[in-house]
């Protein structure tokens, strides 16, 4: 018999509907697996077993009633155990952003994305580890320790949503929420061999997402397949009056029925196959492209000529926005306070000691890029080059429906491999940053394994608000391949 935690989200939803399993049983099985694996993986920053069981009991009661009236709509996420990245607020539950400056912070309200998911009957198992304030590509910047990759415990799970990725890959939960500012959903999904969606900027409310780079931040999700992702996306997407950047456009009704991609044009950008990309990554991505071709898609080479400028643009704009957003940590309204006799000294001391090295680095970089005399040369120029990067995508999307490219130049790297070299770590993001700068959605999914048995991922990007095409294409690919069904031996 298949272990309950090996069921896909959709299989679990179907079993719940039939009454083959209860939400409490599913939840208890996940909690047991978390207990067993957490000492090795450290995917969670807070566990909420009591909340989970009480939510599961309510879900079971609702399911009992529903079975008498099965014609009534019931979301597929109903009764499904999930995990939440620790940058998204959940009322009353510790939310730290992986930072000591928010140690013991209990939000007085929930993020819209989280509240909407819970409203569908989803069960929350806990909050997952992240690089501090989502600044990083490995979870090594978490103040509470690194998450380990379930495929190889000596390696990082990617980041910043590394706790979410490890939890989904290790079957601790059926889905997890993540956020993607520069690749933080897609890169860990790739490193952990799962499927991750970075939504279009403005598709899902940012209300209650603790801000990092406000013009780049997006809420996303990680699951084991595109089909499993869909109900999570549907639960969260759509306008929210509490976020004025959340688009009023209706959320599309997406049906995943079929694997025919005839008439879909997929562009492969030549700038993404550069020196330094691991051979097996390039080979697996190119091989996946032939699968799309066999499914009926038309493949053509395209050019995004400003791709190599995305890295410096991102690492000026994101830190600039972060330096403004993180000014709120003043030890007055929330967070621990390192006491001093003068308010000024209290700011300096609390912020200097409780922010980690990467966060301080980005705050200073952003402060400098915004400071008098340097604004035009750095921040202003970065915003202009951002326009060129955005225009690249708009031009290419006149000719193709989707862009196919690698997620990261390599598979999961070793814990500690990048040491104290920030630039080496920033290079991990070169293939994921452009989508954030352009605001377009992307989906990462597994397309093979390297010689060390580590998963290789690739991504598709679509035009702004074009999530439907992503779901259809990745689902079609996953009907023809079984990379997404492989699981780590843990």
Q: Which of residues 457-486 bind another protein (CB under 8 A)?
A: 464
Nearer to another protein, 60 or 243 (CB): 243
State yes or no: residue 87 binds another protein (CB under 8 A): no
Number of residues that make up the chain: 490
> Which C-beta is closer to another protein: that of 294 or that of 364?
364
Are the CB atoms for 422 and 311 separated by under 8 Å?
A: no
Contact 409, 275 (CB under 8 A): no
SS3 16: helix
**Per CB under 8 A, which of residues 425..454 are in contact with another protein?**
426, 437-439
Angle, helices 23-41/49-68, rounded to nearest 10 degrees: 150
What is the smallest separation between the CB atom of 342 and another protein, expressed in angstroms?
Answer: 6
Angle, helices 9-18/226-236, rounded to nearest 10 degrees: 70
Beta bridge partners of 220: 178, 198
Shortest gap between Cβ of 470 and another protein (angstroms)?
17
Residue 111 CB, nearest distance to another protein (Å)?
A: 15
For CA atoms 40, 10, 200, 298, the dihedral sign is positive
Decide: is 378 part of the binding site for another protein (CB under 8 A).
Answer: yes
Could you give the string, one character per residue 276-305, with x where binding to another protein holds by CB under 8 A and - elsewhere? ------------------------------
Q: Considering only residues 99 through 128, tell me which ones interact with another protein, judged by CB under 8 A.
A: 105-106, 108-109
Q: Which of 286, 360, 486, 487 binds another protein (CB under 8 A)?
A: 360
Q: Quote the least distance from Cβ 383 to another protein, whole Å.
A: 3
- Vertex 2: Cα angle to 490 and 482 (nearest 5): 70
Using CB under 8 A, which residues numbered 134 to 193 contact another protein?
A: none
Active site residues: 85, 160, 184
Which 204-263 positions form the footprint of another protein (CB under 8 A)?
Answer: 215, 241, 244-248
Backbone angles phi, psi at 18, to 5 degrees: -75, -20
Name the segment binding another protein (CB under 8 A); options: 1-9, 145-153, 283-291, 339-347: 339-347
Three-class DSSP category at 266: strand
Q: Minimum distance between the CB of residue 385 and another protein, rounded to whole angstroms?
A: 5
Q: Which one of 114, 226, 281, 385 is in contact with another protein (CB under 8 A)?
A: 385
Q: Does 311 bind another protein (CB under 8 A)?
A: yes
Report, in Å, the least distance between residue 42 CB and another protein.
Answer: 25
Long-range contacts at 25-31 (CB < 8 A, ≥ 24 apart): 26/56, 26/79, 26/80, 26/81, 26/123, 27/52, 27/53, 27/55, 27/56, 27/81, 27/123, 27/125, 28/53, 29/3, 29/4, 29/5, 30/5, 30/81, 30/125, 30/172, 30/173, 30/174, 31/125
Q: Is 323 in the site for another protein (CB under 8 A)?
A: yes
Q: Are 219 and 88 in contact (CB under 8 A)?
A: yes
| Closer Cβ to another protein, 6 or 394, answer by number | 394
Identify whether the C-beta of residue 408 lies closer than 8 Å to the C-beta of residue 187. yes
Q: Does residue number 342 form part of the binding site for another protein (CB under 8 A)? A: yes
Q: Give me the least distance between CB of 294 and another protein, in Å please.
A: 34
Q: How far is CA 183 from the centre of its chain?
A: 7
331 binds another protein (CB under 8 A): yes
**79, 159, 220, 335: residue in contact with another protein (rule CB under 8 A):** 335
């Amino acid at each position: 018999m298949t272990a309950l935690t090996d069921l896909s989200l959709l299989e679990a939803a179907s079993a719940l509907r039939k009454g083959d399993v209860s939400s409490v049983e599913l939840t208890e099985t996940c909690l047991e697996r978390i207990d067993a694996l957490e000492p090795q993986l450290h995917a969670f920053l807070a566990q909420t077993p009591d909340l989970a069981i009480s939510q599961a009991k309510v879900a079971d009661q609702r399911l009992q009633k529903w079975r008498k009236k099965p014609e009534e709509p019931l979301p597929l996420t109903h009764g499904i155990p999930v995990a939440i990245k620790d940058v998204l607020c959940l009322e009353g539950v510790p939310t730290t952003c992986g930072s000591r400056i928010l140690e013991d912070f209990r939000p007085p309200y929930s993020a819209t994305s989280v509240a909407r998911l819970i409203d569908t009957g989803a069960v929350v198992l806990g909050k997952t580890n992240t690089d501090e304030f989502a600044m990083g590509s490995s979870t090594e910047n978490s103040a509470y320790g690194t998450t380990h990759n379930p495929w190889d415990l000596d390696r990082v799970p990617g980041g910043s949503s590394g706790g979410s990725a490890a939890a989904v890959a290790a079957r601790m939960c059926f889905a997890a929420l993540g956020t993607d500012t520069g690749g933080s959903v897609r890169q860990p999904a790739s490193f952990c061999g799962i499927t991750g969606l970075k939504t279009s900027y403005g598709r899902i409310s940012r209300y209650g997402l603790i801000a990092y780079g406000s013009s780049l931040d997006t809420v996303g999700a990680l699951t084991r397949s595109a089909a499993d992702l869909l109900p999570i996306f549907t639960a969260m997407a759509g306008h929210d009056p509490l976020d004025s950047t959340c688009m009023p456009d209706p959320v599309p009704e997406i049906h995943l029925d079929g694997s025919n991609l005839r008439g879909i044009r997929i562009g492969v950008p030549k700038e993404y196959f550069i020196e330094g990309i691991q051979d097996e990554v390039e080979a697996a991505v190119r091989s996946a492209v032939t699968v799309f071709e066999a499914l009926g898609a038309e493949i053509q080479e395209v050019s995004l000529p400003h791709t190599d400028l995305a890295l410096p643009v991102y690492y000026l704009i994101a830190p600039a926005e972060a330096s403004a957003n993180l000014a709120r940590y003043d030890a007055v309204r929330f967070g621990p306070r390192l006491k001093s006799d003068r308010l000024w000294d209290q700011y300096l001391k609390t912020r200097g000691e409780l922010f980690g090295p990467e966060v301080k680095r980005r705050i200073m970089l952003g402060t400098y890029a915004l400071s008098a005399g340097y604004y035009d040369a750095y921040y202003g120029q970065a915003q202009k080059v951002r326009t060129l990067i955005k225009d690249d995508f708009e031009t290419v999307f006149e000719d193709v429906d989707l862009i196919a490219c690698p997620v990261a130049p390599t598979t999961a790297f070793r814990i500690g491999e990048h040491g104290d070299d920030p630039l080496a770590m920033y290079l991990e993001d070169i293939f994921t940053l452009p989508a954030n700068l352009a605001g377009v959605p992307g989906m990462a999914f597994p397309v093979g394994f390297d010689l060390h048995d580590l998963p290789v991922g690739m991504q598709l990007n679509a035009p702004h608000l074009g999530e439907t095409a992503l779901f259809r294409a990745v689902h079609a690919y996953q009907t023809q391949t079984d990379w997404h069904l492989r699981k780590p031996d843990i």
